[in-house]
Amino acid sequence: MANRGANAPLLVERYRDEEHNGHEEEQEQFIRRLPATAYFKKAIRIMKISNSFFSLASLGLLIAAAVLNEAGPMTPYAARREIRELSILIGVNLLVSIPLLFLQIPIFISTTTNLIFSIFVILYSIPVLSYGWPQESKCRIWVPVPSDPQDPYGSHGHFSGPTEECLSALQVLRIIMGVGAGLGIFVGTILGALALFQTIAIIRTRFWKDKKLVSFGNLSGWKPKGFTVQFTFTILPQGELLAPNPNATNTAAPVKPSTSNPLIET
């Protein structure tokens, strides 16, 4: 009796530990069953809306910069290609991001798309601010010598000094290009953060531990453990094997025994 009373607290403590471990396992399984879209829902939603808004603003500024660069008083320069490429990339990102605000697609596809756009938007925004940045030399326009019969192509002439109109237009172009490309870098940063949050959400699902992740129709619950081969033998008595078929007909004529002996002459 003393031993039983002494062991009672140990049994109670062991039962509590098992119950506690069971609750932890159930809670862990519940968390593991949550889809990836259940994590960071509000933050991801805000970043998606911000991506669409700033992409639209950046695209509008880049289009305005392209128009001013071509129609302004300054000489068009090499940044026209950078502006065009970044505008196309931002436009494609805008066309992709707006439907994603209302549609649900697999998070693996969304994460990959956001990561790719993040890299390319940042890479194409930097040249607009560096190589394509307009300088005052673009306001110096070549003026050929008029009515020179020796120079029909206008190769002789001089550069005119920058005018106030050209410098003002150049300053406006710098502001538009700077803000547009800066918003492009900001959009790329948002897309990178969005891809990071989605990657963390995917990791939290621990999908590699889910045995039912891949299902093939009705075979989702199939757990193969081998195969079974079955043979059937039928043993018949010997008499049944030798018994004639009653439906068979005998076409051979019966042989009659001969009563005469061919060796005896009569």
Q: Domain locations in the chain?
A: 39-144+156-209
Say what the pLDDT of residue 176 is: 92
Report residue 204: phi and psi, to 5°. -65, -25
Give the residues across from 158 on adjacent strands: 143
Helix (H, G, I), strand (E, B) or coil at 157: strand
Identify the CA nearest to 48 among candidates 93, 87, 108.
93
CA 103 to CA 105: how far, in whole Å?
Answer: 6
- Taking a C-beta distance cutoff of 8 angstroms, is the pair 68, 79 a contact? no
- Taking a C-beta distance cutoff of 8 angstroms, is the pair 139, 167 a contact? yes
Give the residues across from 38 on adjacent strands: none
Identify the CA nearest to 127 among candidates 184, 72, 170, 171.
184
- Taking a C-beta distance cutoff of 8 angstroms, is the pair 100, 50 a contact? no
Q: pTM to 2 decimals?
A: 0.60
Distance of CA 229 to the CA centre of its chain: 44
| Crossing angle of the two packed helices 107-129 and 79-100, in degrees rounded to 10 | 160
Q: pLDDT truncated to tens, each residue of the chain (266 aa)?
A: 445 555 555 544 555 555 555 555 555 554 456 665 666 778 888 999 999 999 999 999 999 999 988 887 777 666 788 899 999 999 999 999 888 888 878 888 888 999 999 999 999 999 888 877 777 777 777 666 666 666 555 556 666 777 788 888 888 888 999 999 999 999 999 999 999 998 888 887 776 665 554 444 443 444 555 556 566 767 666 655 555 555 555 544 554 554 444 444 43
CA 196 to CA 33: how far, in whole Å?
Answer: 21
Instruction: Output the six-digit token pair for 20.
Output: 């506690």
Helix (H, G, I), strand (E, B) or coil at 254: coil
Say what the pLDDT of residue 52 is: 93
Report which residue type is found at 262: P
Identify the CA nearest to 184 among candidates 110, 101, 123, 116.
123
* Residue partners of 74: CB distance under 8 A and separation at least 6: 134, 138, 139, 166, 169, 170, 173
Write the burial class of residue 197 (CB in 10 Å: 0-12 exposed, 13-18 middle, 19+ buried).
middle
